[in-house]
Amino acid sequence: MLALQIHEVGSLGLVNTPKPELRPHGLLVRVAASGICGTDPHILHGLYPANLPLIPGHEYAGVVEAVGDGIDGFAPGDHVAVDPNIVCGVCDFCRRGKVHLCKNLVALGVNIPGGFAEFCLVPVSQAYKIPKSLPLAHAALAEPVACCLRGVDLSGIVSGDVVLIFGAGPMGAIILQLARMQGASHVIVVDPQERRRKRASALGASWTIDPGKQDAVQAVRDQYPDGVNVVFDCSGNIAAVRQTLQAVMRGGTVMLYGVCHKDANLEVNPFWVNDNEITIRGSYNNPNTMARALDLLVSGRLDAGAVVTHRIPLEKGLEAFQLNGGEECLKVMVEP
C-alpha cells in the first residue's frame, strides 16, 4: 500500500509498504481522510518525540475493511472516526481518571503507524462508528475538535463572557465556534494573516485584530478597560502568550492551548497572579471528548466545512505538507 513516511528527522517521503495484518481486537481501516496537524511537522523536524521511521497522521477517518477476532458491533463497510490516543488503563493517572496523562500513552501516528496511508490497523477501543451522512473528510476533524472541547471545558467559559483568541489557524477556528456555542457574548480574534481573520469573521468573531497594524492588548483594553474573561493562546507563539497575560481581567483565565517551542519560557509575576486571582492552565489531548465532538460534527452545529480548506490526494502528500500552515489553508486533509 502507499503511505507517507517520516524516515528520519527531516526526511519525509512516499513509500510502498505492506498492508498491516489484521489482529485480534483490531479493525483494518481503509483511510479516507487524514488531517495534517501542527504536531506532524514538529515530528518531522525532531521537535516532538515520536518513534521513527513512522507513518504519521493522527486525525483520520475511514471505512472498515476487515474485522479482527473478538470484536462485536463493527462490520466491513462501517464508517469510523479514530481516537489516536491509546491509554493503558492501569497506571496511576489512568486509575485517577486522568487518562490523557497516561504514563504509557501510545498514539497512532506518533508511536505506531497512523493515517497517512491507504490502510491502518486501529484497535477497536479507538474506533467510533459514525453515520454515513457525515462526510469522512469532516469526521477526520473529530480528534482536533475533541482536543478543543477539552480546552473550552477547562476554560470555564460561561454565557456572557468575552473571549479573546490569539491565532486563527484550525484550532483557533474551532475554539472560536465552541466559545460561541458556550454563550460567549463576544469573541475577539488576533491573527497577522488577513485571510485567517476573514475566515474568523465569517465564523462569528465579533471583531478581529491585525497585530502587525495595532497593539493587540491596547486594542482590547480600549474596548474593555478591565480586560476580558477568558484568553486562549492558539498560536504557540511566545510573544502572543505574553500578551494573553496582559489582556486577561481580574478573576479571568488564560488557556495555554497552542504548542510553543519546548525551550520557550514565560515570566509570570506570582504577586499579580495571586492578587488578581488569575488562572493559567494548559490543556492536553482529548480525554472522553470524542463522542461529543462527533455529535457536534454530525449535527452540523460545528462548521467543519469552514475548517477543512484543502483535500489533497495521498500521492501529493509532500505538497500537502508544504501547503500546510500557509495563509490560504486551515486544515489540510490528505486523502488516500
Handedness of CA 225, 229, 235, 241 (dihedral sign): positive
Shortest Cβ 229–Zn ion spacing (Å):
27
Q: 39 catalytic, yes or no?
A: yes
Beta carbon nearer to Zn ion, 95 or 132: 95
Report the 10 Å Cβ neighbour count for 77.
9
Beta carbon nearer to Zn ion, 68 or 109: 109
* Amino acid occupying residue 17: T
The DSSP bridge pattern shows strands 228-233 and 248-256 to be: parallel
Using CB under 5 A, which of 39, 208, 244, 283 touches Zn ion?
39
Interface mask toward Zn ion for 45-84; x: CB under 5 A: ----------------------------------------
Beta carbon nearer to Zn ion, 20 or 57: 57
- The residue from 39, 208, 253, 289 that is catalytic is 39
* Amino acid occupying residue 2: L
- The residue from 7, 17, 25, 42 that is catalytic is 42
Shortest Cβ 100–Zn ion spacing (Å):
10
Using the rule CB under 5 A, is 333 a contact of Zn ion? no
Using the rule CB under 5 A, is 181 a contact of Zn ion? no
What is the distance between the terminal CA atoms of the chain, rounded to a whole angstrom?
10
Shortest Cβ 237–Zn ion spacing (Å):
18
Using the rule CB under 5 A, is 155 a contact of Zn ion? no
B/e letters for 282-299, b = 16+ CB within 10 Å, e = fewer, are: ebebbbebbebbbebbbe
Query: Could you check whether the bond before residue 192 is cis, i.e. omega within 30 degrees of 0?
Result: no
Binding region for Zn ion (CB under 5 A) out of 102-110, 132-140, 177-185, 188-196: 102-110
Binding region for Zn ion (CB under 5 A) out of 2-10, 35-43, 49-57, 189-197: 35-43
Q: 42 catalytic, yes or no?
A: yes
Beta carbon nearer to Zn ion, 68 or 115: 115
Which of 330, 263, 321, 262 minimizes the C-alpha distance to 44? 321
Report the 10 Å Cβ neighbour count for 196.
22
The DSSP bridge pattern shows strands 26-35 and 60-67 to be: antiparallel
Using CB under 5 A, which of 2, 52, 88, 154 touches Zn ion?
88
Residues in contact with Zn ion, counted by CB under 5 A, come to a total of 7
Beta carbon nearer to Zn ion, 12 or 87: 87
Using CB under 5 A, which of 4, 6, 33, 37 touches Zn ion?
37
3-state secondary structure of 109: coil
Which of 132, 81, 190, 149 minimizes the C-alpha distance to 302? 149
The rounded distance, in Å, linking the Cα atoms of 132 and 85 is: 24
Using the rule CB under 5 A, is 102 a contact of Zn ion? yes
Say if residue 24 is exposed, middle or buried (CB neighbours under 10 Å; 0-12, 13-18, 19+): exposed
Please give the residue ranges that form the binding site for Zn ion (CB under 5 A).
Answer: 37, 39, 87-88, 91, 94, 102
What positions carry a catalytic annotation?
39, 42
